Amino acid sequence: MTNVVIAGYARSPFHLAGKGALARVRPDDLAAQTIRGLIEKTGAIVERLDIKQALYAKLEQLKRPGTAVSSNTSTIPLGHLVDGRSDQFKADFLITHFFNPPRYMRLIEIVRGDHTDAAVAEKSLSSTLPQGDPYFDTVRPMPLVDKMIAEGFTGRKGKGGFYRFDKATKTKLALDLATGEYRGGQKPAPLPPKAEKDLGALIATPGKVGDYAWEILGKTLSYAAMLVGEAADDIVAIDDAMKLGYNWKFGPFELLDRIGAATFAQRLRDEGRSVPAILETAGDRSFYRVVEGKRQFLGTDGDYHDVVRGDGVLLLEDIKLRSEPLLKNASAAVWDVGDGVAALEFTTKMNALDGEIMSLIQQAIPLVQDRFKALVIYNEGSNFSAGANLGMAMFAAPEKPTFRLPGESGRTGIAGVVEGFRKKGMATEYDEVVSGRLATVLTGGEADLVDTVQEDDLLTLERAAFMEAVRDPRTQARVQQMLTTGKPLRN
């Protein structure tokens, strides 16, 4: 068993925080002397409720009251896990959900149940975060949110959330944070033109908008800067964690580059707040730069280092820094990404498809056939493609079709077949008349195989046959029968 564990962790990248921690991994039965000495016990076993409950039954006999017990489950409701356990066990139980991979993400979500002792959860969190962490100054009770959850206002799948749609009035309502009641939506005042795209200008905007932007970004970005060297070894890891884990378009340090590290640090000083070490190290430099086609990041040592992608990771943004496109127009580009592969990238707004993209695809086909093994259609935008750009689409009227039809000889053939059906009792006399009218349309009327019949000619024949049919009393009798009984008349 031990060899299996060691073999499992021998792969790269290493899964534990340090290889020395592997000595602490061992298969063992629950030992009373071990369990009773713990401050907190976290379980990580197979996602089966019966197995987890059996484990908790054993733990309950061994642990001390007040010792936190947690599961890292992400699928089983907390209430089900502690079903049948004592009130004390329920008070000591919570979920500690680690973000994968824990070796790199170093993020944890602590979930309390209805019976979890708040002091136990706080103690668990305190043991996870160091004293003085800004989290303890930020977290606070939110009565309005608690009230919303208790009353079922949990979002679109509930009665509503911070917004809801009133079906009666067909209007979007917003939650008034002061009163806790819904009201009609209010359109915010427009931003100053420069603040729409300039993050530095946004946080410097006088008034509520700028104050709010700084309140959020000032705390969030300074906290991210404080964690360099603690939560991650470098700024790239933190930026990647926020982009991949929380779907941020830009990481914290990419945002700081848009503001300016020196500007940001000076505002912290002006407000009497501490400046994280990485900001002091940066000074008036940027956190990222491009040198000789390579993206570099600022390290804690004050030097720039190349951004190294993981094994098997290839980003088009890196390719574009050091090469020129093979083909390009206003809507797309073709790049050589190596290993005999070309990539076709959309560059339109929201990567919407238009005629220029279609044109470049046609140009790319012979190029790829001649020089490459494969072509991938790829981009690194927020949307792979929003679909066709209907506003730019050019719809040319199609050419009207022409036909060569058999005329009288064709009608003669059809008539012979239908006559045979009538003689066998498979068609009525009026069926034979109706088929004759249809045959006139399908064979082109008085045309012959050497003649060209236009679509408009067929429409004229069809219209004449239709009017002849509706004037016929036998057609009228068929319509009347169907409307009255719902059954066809065979006359």
Size of the chain in residues: 491
* 202: its two tokens: 């946004």
**pLDDT computed for residue 188 by the predictor:** 82
**pLDDT computed for residue 110 by the predictor:** 82
* CATH for the 195-306 domain, from 1.10.3710, 1.10.1040, 1.25.40, 3.40.190: 1.10.1040
Pick the closest to residue 16 from 88, 79, 106, 94 (CA basis). Answer: 106
**pLDDT computed for residue 40 by the predictor:** 53
Model pTM?
Answer: 0.61
Positions in the chain whose pLDDT score sits under 70 = 1-22, 24-44, 74, 100-106, 124-129, 391-398
Residue 111 main-chain phi, psi, to 5 deg: -115, 125
**pLDDT computed for residue 72 by the predictor:** 80
Q: Which residues pair with 402 in a beta bridge?
A: 454
CATH class of 31-140: alpha beta
Can you give the residue ranges of every domain in the chain? 31-140, 148-184, 195-306, 316-377, 403-485
HSE-CB of 422 using CA atoms within 13 angstroms:
17
Same fold, 31-140 and 195-306: no
DSSP assignment, residue 310?
Answer: P
Q: Which residues in 147-267 belong to E strands, given as ranges?
A: 163-166, 171-175, 182-184
Report how far residue 353's alpha carbon sits from residue 148's, in angstroms, rounded to the nearest whole number: 42
Sequence-separated (6 or more) residues with CB below 8 Å from residue 213: 202, 203, 205
HSE-CB of 388 using CA atoms within 13 angstroms:
8
Query: Which residue shows structure tokens 């070894």?
Result: 233
